[in-house]
Structure 1
């Protein structure tokens, strides 16, 4: 949870990494109560070359709305995983084929873009530009630029459990939605994966995530809605088959 800006400042002050209530925001009251500039390292790294080479040079790369480059971390079922720097607006298909040298063995099934709190993108999103504006128009985020590529051997429900387990472990426990909500979501998903779920459990997972989005203290609980809603958008039927006692990929032991 210390990726959240106010929790990070709490850690720097030697305290437990709990998010702060906002307002006040860091520019007015941040580290040790002083006005604080706190940004992603990637953002700060762009400042020096822009000053040295100018804004026009920076705008050579990327798109009109989102100039510059972005660092992407590629992992999963690709031939060559790793870190790349590519222009804003590159597509997921281009990243997989040109930079990751294609899928390792199987066929593309889905990718998660933006880290654990990022959206699940299906095959219909392979040619959408990966920049803040293009994804923002669809209610999605580019986030950290982490891209996890998955083939057809991946169980959508098993991946959902992985995401939920991460959020449960990372919750600081300060707010009830973050502390109880993450645990309840993982319990529901685990029950479904064992063939012990009910038809209403899928809707309950989505409803709980929506409540957490509105009531959680920090982005950890608020952002769960994106991976949950998008994985259910593409693979709700696959998840539902577990309730009837069958995992289509054979990953879940029912």
Structure 2
């Protein structure tokens, strides 16, 4: 860290104060997958692991756990994908489908006087940083959702100049769809979860709600907007429960859950 600050900012942190601030470190949400095969739910042939997949780390990833996650579920994803390919014959793709996808990707080049991808990206950054940050409130999240919807509407009119190769503006125009999807999913999940837990802090709901402990939010997109639903999770298996200090579990579980001692 000393070397990084000294080389990049000319600051000797052993003698001078250094400026720090929150930034995106790890995405704990992601693609919903089957745990045994890492197959994406609802998308045959897609496999995901690590930071791309969601649900592994609960409300807060502990240091070092991401490596274990990659080793275990990366292997499962590879094996699952290999098994899928072996049992699946080649699926023909219609030329019209390919042409439609290509036209969508290249559409920004055909527009003139449209929205600037850099400006929309900066605006989306500002909205999510200010309103969907580490500490959120319901009013801020409502404001963010409305602003994200406006940016999504304007992003349909992004215009790009130049060619496809080595063109950051074009790449950003294409990436905006995914950024908007993640931003809207995050904001809508956060506004629905009226509690504070791990990396999610609601200033208007500062405590943990036991009714939320074993639930995830699952997002889906219909091409226009994101819909979020609450999904219950299975209780911890007995063999896993036995590995924990019961006194530590009492901080997070209800007395009935602790007494149950895990599921069969």
TM over 0.5, shorter chain: no
Output the TM-score relative to the length of structure 2.
0.26
Q: Which has the higher contact order (CA 8 A, sep 6+)?
A: 1
- CA radius of gyration, larger in: 2
Decide which structure has greater strand share.
1
Output the TM-score relative to the length of structure 1.
0.26
